[in-house]
Structure 1
Amino acid sequence: MSAPLPSYLFGGSAEDARRVGSPRGGSRKTGDAGILGKVSGAIHGVPERFMRPRIVLVAVTAVLVCFGMLMIYSASSVSCLNSASCDYDPAYYLKRQMIYAAVGLALAVLLATRDYHWFTRDHLAVVVAGVIVALILVFVPGFSNSTYGASRWIKLGGFQLQPSEFAKVAIVTVAAALAQRYYVDGDLGQAELLKYTLVGIGVPLGLILIQPDKGSTAIIAITLIIMLYVAGFNPVVLSLGLLSGALALGVLSLTQDYALSRITTFLDPWADEAGKSYQLVQGYYALGSGGILGVGIGFSKQKYSYLPMAHNDFIFAVIGEECGLVGTLGVIACFALFAWAGFRIAKYAPDLAGRLIASGCTSLIIIQMLVNVCGVLGLIPLSGKPLPFLSYGGTSIIACLMFVGMLLSVSKNSALPETEHDVRRRNMTVRSGDERGDAGLSFVGETTPRSASLGRSDPGAGRSDVAPTGFTVVDGGGSARDARGHNGSFRNGSGASRASSQRIAGGRGYGRIDTNADAASRQRSRGSGRGRSGGQGRSGGRERRGRR
């Protein structure tokens, strides 16, 4: 009987590969192999193009989060020892960050184990409604927690959350879903697209802008432009939109005092180094004193109440002081690996929505990193945005880990593109040794007409069957009797007699094939049906060639 070959041979899932077993044929029992066995089972059968960026993404994220915990403790321990609000606990911020990271990890696992269509199609309206309500609560007395003249946080018990971080996740998801439905599925018209874009993207962006939080607005806007470029939007139009947005944001900044002071500080930080430029100048001192290798982790001097927000917005300056230029370049290299893994996942995403989610999540993380680092270095005006994975901030670490979960979801649901070879391999079957009748397969010594091998009828041979389109493999595990005649000679496909089988071997009376004769002579002698021996076939062949 015919049986289909295992699906993992032509791009099947990892689950298919685990069901088949190990490549050596042994059964795979991950339950008895411990942690290493489970990890091996999760990796086994997944193509390299999917597994490598997935492993790099998880590894880089773990390194950044753990290193961030270390630097948060180092940068905040001294100030916490002298602060009653921190209960004089040097690990106060570290403990809270670990709680937030645990929540973010749980959400990341939830997103990674779900198909990303679950939150781009089935529950998108609920996500958008929840984010809009949270952004509105920022302005509601009793929930709002204003800091430095901005209303960006809401209080929930002893914790405070920044809804704009969750809005980033929602906006990326909404943009990817709308692009998929408009460009690919075709179930959205222009009027519906405009309406959903206004509600799902325009309203959250407007609420973030009036907090005011121009930094998050700019980061999200640039991310959306990148997503549109990936979707195939006109680059000229996108460039004009980016330029127009930058001009509008600049004009808006000139009308706000705190934003104008950040611009003047950026242009000349040494004009008021003891006033408005104090934090930026202290960050310069921290970076300059670190040198090449730094002063050592825990030995920063600027964290002794000289550098404000050392564990938050300016943690990159503390890294530069304690770990030096090597440490700062190492952080940049980790984010570069993160970008490589994220865009690699986007490249092999199964559809437009997955490609846009992966590129949007990756772009937003990298853009926010550049905004923070460039602000600390004085290359752009300060924005107050935390460094992803490294800065202290509960909502920030949760949102960043949610982005990682979404990237893993896209990667897990990716599949190899089907090629012509995949289709042919799917039609491969295994037959036992006693099942013949496939025109394209013959034993040694038997001539198969070209018309039969191509699936055409051969009237001269008395055959009118059509060869199957698939490829058939004859099982070699059968007994000798299945493949040979009663006297040990090979049987041909048309049921030849023992005498004709003996003629293949030169008439010597046993089933051994005569290998002394060349292939052309054996085929002529076999096809002519005159019963010549191998030697006679060769001489006959020479005579015929001579006559020609």
Structure 2
Amino acid sequence: MAVTGTYQRGAGRRAAASQARSGQAGASRPRPAARRRGEKGGVGGAVQRTERKIFGVPERFMRPRLILIATVVLLTAFGCLMIYSASSISSLTSDVLGNDPAYYLKKQLQFIALGGVAAFVLAKVDYHEFTNGRASMPMWGAMVVVLVLVFTPIAGQSTYGASRWISLPLIGNLQPSEFAKIGIVWLAAGVCQQRFDDGTIDDAQFVKNGVLAAVLPLVLIVAQPDKGTTMVIGVALLAMLFFAGFDRRYLGMIALVALAGMVFLSVKDSYSLRRIQIMLDPFQDYYNDGYQLAQGQYAFGSGGLFGVGIGMSRMKYSYLPMAHNDFIFAIIGEECGLVGTLGVLAAFGVIAWQGMKIARCASDLSGRLVAVGCTSLLAFQMLLNVCGVIGIFPLSGKPIPFLSYGGSSIMASLLIVGALVSVSVHSSLPETVHDRTRRTWQQVADESDPGSLTFVSDARPRSARGAVRQEAQGRGAGSAQPQAGSPFRVVAGGAQGRSRGQARPQRGRVTTDANGRRRIDLGPSASDRLRGGSDGPRTRR
């Protein structure tokens, strides 16, 4: 303790002298914040960031995962509340629904339970199984088959002039394009991994695999027609190509061609063209095609800043069609006001931010692209719905993830979250050069005491150190030797030369000075040896 205190006092004096010299020189620069705190920079800060854990998992993996899951849970719970509020009157007055005001809420809870279980299972499965693993090809085949079944009279169901649903027993109608979104993201991430990271395929094979993985399913989705889902998937694919390092010139050309194609399809179809005209002025045909959009704007106007209160909406009394589905954002604006709508947008902003953090911490390119693609799917679909409801983009018929009623929508959204969590769970810290060096360390232990390992031996006076060196040289032939090429070795310390159970020899003396401080006697100093004595000074001849 005396040695330590002396060192600290000496270090303090040196630091004070250095600061005084800096002040005399006129360089009164404060130390950087990273070095001052010891948390954000330097070796100590890096070690602290690496070792900080949450539930035994490094913080940079667990924190975005927990925030993402918590935000999704809150949005889903808020969505159930708003679905009940928006649909209670219409279901209460419907004989077909059994005059049950909680009919849609009960159905939504069933879909949430199914989607939650599927998302939990998906989070446990390694995402590599779907990108380039054994499950990638069966998944692609099942996806294409289901998308083709939509057009068959056996399973296909046409609603509102579009063939987008298939009928399944015990579940009802499901929209395959909602589930195809995540499959396309998985397959596209695997193709980009092969081209840009592994380098196992060339440009021609990259285009071929990309057409099979993404373009073919997109063509089947456009043919339904489902332009809203096509736009969502297209934006996600463009974001993935951008983060994969695709040439930006070609990426811009692809974006322009895709935009021109969507404009052509919107102008070609009469009902899509009508949606564009209604967006520009919903009151020109108030009682027909513009009625829903106009009523939605009335709902926003009635809400004001803080809304009329949860459950107090007037538009849900059959004034606003599909209030619990596509236009639930208008009901949120009426009952929760501008503050409520901004809160929803902020929640999706948190999801997007945490999704990008998961992408940044992913172990490989495919993981980063899966996280980027899934985050883009959720964020852009929300924007597509919100922009359509407030009248700055044509209505697409896409619901808001986690908020709108719909089995396919909520289950697909939860599966996307499960895919994001899978990337976070199966990411690992990258190996550094220091990790590789530690694996080459070898232990040199004494044969008489195997398994003993001490890094610090007993304190010895200077007069005894020569005998210790001679002892070590004498038993050098019987000691274990490190493997060839090992850059570092750990040598057993004070346990050498003793059998088990033998008392540890006392090689240093502990004395107490006049002030009661205990210190280790390290032997005579140089001045004591020069003064003479029985032994006399030790010189080398």
Q: Give yes or no for TM over 0.5.
A: yes
Residue 89 of structure 1 corresponds to 100
What SS class does the counterpart of residue 417 from structure 1 fall into?
coil
What SS class does the counterpart of residue 358 from structure 1 fall into?
helix
Cα-Cα RMSD: 3.8
Cα deviation for residue 169 of structure 1 reads 1.0
Residue 52 of structure 1 corresponds to 63
Cα deviation for residue 270 of structure 1 reads 2.6
- In the alignment, the residues of structure 2 paired with residue 224 and residue 268 of structure 1 have an alpha-carbon distance, to the nearest angstrom, of 32
Q: Deviations over 1:40-83 (max 9, x none)?
A: xx953200000101101111111111111111111111001122
Aligned partner of 1:339 among 331, 352, 375: 352
Aligned partner of 1:67 among 72, 78, 82: 78
Residue 134 of structure 1 corresponds to 146
Q: Deviations over 1:73-106 (max 9, x none)?
A: 1111100112233222111111111111111111
Cα deviation for residue 423 of structure 1 reads 3.6
Cα deviation for residue 474 of structure 1 reads 6.2
Q: Compared with structure 1, are the counterparts of its residues 379 and 428 closer, same or farther at alpha carbon in structure 2 (3 Å cutoff)?
A: farther
Unaligned ranges ≥5, structure 2: 1-45, 463-469, 510-518
Cα deviation for residue 182 of structure 1 reads 2.2
Cα deviation for residue 472 of structure 1 reads 3.6
Cα deviation for residue 374 of structure 1 reads 1.1
Q: Deviations over 1:233-261 (max 9, x none)?
A: 12232122212211221122111101101
- In the alignment, the residues of structure 2 paired with residue 211 and residue 352 of structure 1 have an alpha-carbon distance, to the nearest angstrom, of 32
Q: Deviations over 1:338-381 (max 9, x none)?
A: 11111111111111111111111011100101111111111211
Q: Deviations over 1:18-55 (max 9, x none)?
A: xxxxx9xxxxxxxxxxxxxxxxxx95320000010110
What SS class does the counterpart of residue 86 from structure 1 fall into?
coil
Aligned partner of 2:167 among 120, 137, 155: 155
- In the alignment, the residues of structure 1 paired with residue 251 and residue 58 of structure 2 have an alpha-carbon distance, to the nearest angstrom, of 35
- In the alignment, the residues of structure 1 paired with residue 247 and residue 436 of structure 2 have an alpha-carbon distance, to the nearest angstrom, of 36
- Give the alignment of 1:294-373 within 5 angstroms: 294-373=307-386
Residues 215 and 384 in structure 1, CA contact (< 8 A), matched pair in contact too = yes
Unaligned ranges ≥5, structure 1: 1-9, 12-16, 18-22, 24-41, 448-457, 491-500, 503-511, 522-533
Which segment is superposed worse, 50-59 or 435-444? Answer: 435-444
- In the alignment, the residues of structure 2 paired with residue 253 and residue 538 of structure 1 have an alpha-carbon distance, to the nearest angstrom, of 104
Q: Compared with structure 1, are the counterparts of its residues 160 and 446 closer, same or farther at alpha carbon in structure 2 (3 Å cutoff)?
A: farther
Give, as a single letter, the amino acid of the residue that structure 2 aligns with 1:88.
N
- In the alignment, the residues of structure 2 paired with residue 387 and residue 315 of structure 1 have an alpha-carbon distance, to the nearest angstrom, of 8
Aligned residue-pair number = 462
Residue 255 of structure 1 corresponds to 268
Residues 456 and 493 in structure 2, CA contact (< 8 A), matched pair in contact too = no
Which segment is superposed worse, 250-259 or 237-246? Answer: 237-246
Residues 149 and 156 in structure 2, CA contact (< 8 A), matched pair in contact too = yes
Q: Does 1:104 align with 2:115?
A: yes
Which segment is superposed worse, 307-316 or 332-341? Answer: 332-341
Residues 424 and 471 in structure 1, CA contact (< 8 A), matched pair in contact too = no
Residue 36 of structure 1 corresponds to none
Q: Compared with structure 1, are the counterparts of its residues 132 and 437 closer, same or farther at alpha carbon in structure 2 (3 Å cutoff)?
A: closer
Q: Compared with structure 1, are the counterparts of its residues 84 and 473 closer, same or farther at alpha carbon in structure 2 (3 Å cutoff)?
A: farther
- In the alignment, the residues of structure 1 paired with residue 438 and residue 452 of structure 2 have an alpha-carbon distance, to the nearest angstrom, of 20
Residue 188 of structure 1 corresponds to 201
Q: Percent identity?
A: 49
Residues 461 and 521 in structure 2, CA contact (< 8 A), matched pair in contact too = no
Residue 469 of structure 1 corresponds to 487
Residue 273 of structure 1 corresponds to 286
- In the alignment, the residues of structure 2 paired with residue 301 and residue 479 of structure 1 have an alpha-carbon distance, to the nearest angstrom, of 86
- In the alignment, the residues of structure 2 paired with residue 431 and residue 319 of structure 1 have an alpha-carbon distance, to the nearest angstrom, of 71
- In the alignment, the residues of structure 2 paired with residue 267 and residue 89 of structure 1 have an alpha-carbon distance, to the nearest angstrom, of 38
Which segment is superposed worse, 208-217 or 151-160? Answer: 151-160
Q: Compared with structure 1, are the counterparts of its residues 63 and 445 closer, same or farther at alpha carbon in structure 2 (3 Å cutoff)?
A: same
TM-score by length of 1: 0.76
Residues 290 and 320 in structure 1, CA contact (< 8 A), matched pair in contact too = yes
Aligned partner of 1:381 among 379, 390, 394: 394
- In the alignment, the residues of structure 2 paired with residue 513 and residue 63 of structure 1 have an alpha-carbon distance, to the nearest angstrom, of 62
Q: Does 1:232 align with 2:236?
A: no
- In the alignment, the residues of structure 2 paired with residue 475 and residue 274 of structure 1 have an alpha-carbon distance, to the nearest angstrom, of 91
Give, as a single letter, the amino acid of the residue that structure 1 aligns with 2:146.
A
Residues 374 and 420 in structure 2, CA contact (< 8 A), matched pair in contact too = yes
Q: Deviations over 1:314-361 (max 9, x none)?
A: 101111111111211111111111111111111111111111111110
Cα deviation for residue 192 of structure 1 reads 3.4
- In the alignment, the residues of structure 2 paired with residue 169 and residue 361 of structure 1 have an alpha-carbon distance, to the nearest angstrom, of 7
Q: Compared with structure 1, are the counterparts of its residues 516 and 377 closer, same or farther at alpha carbon in structure 2 (3 Å cutoff)?
A: farther
Q: Compared with structure 1, are the counterparts of its residues 281 and 517 closer, same or farther at alpha carbon in structure 2 (3 Å cutoff)?
A: farther
Residues 368 and 385 in structure 1, CA contact (< 8 A), matched pair in contact too = yes
Q: Deviations over 1:116-145 (max 9, x none)?
A: 112222111111111111111111113222
- In the alignment, the residues of structure 1 paired with residue 377 and residue 531 of structure 2 have an alpha-carbon distance, to the nearest angstrom, of 77
Aligned partner of 1:514 among 487, 505, 521: 521
Which segment is superposed worse, 221-230 or 193-202? Answer: 193-202
- In the alignment, the residues of structure 2 paired with residue 45 and residue 398 of structure 1 have an alpha-carbon distance, to the nearest angstrom, of 30
- In the alignment, the residues of structure 1 paired with residue 312 and residue 454 of structure 2 have an alpha-carbon distance, to the nearest angstrom, of 80
Cα deviation for residue 424 of structure 1 reads 4.6
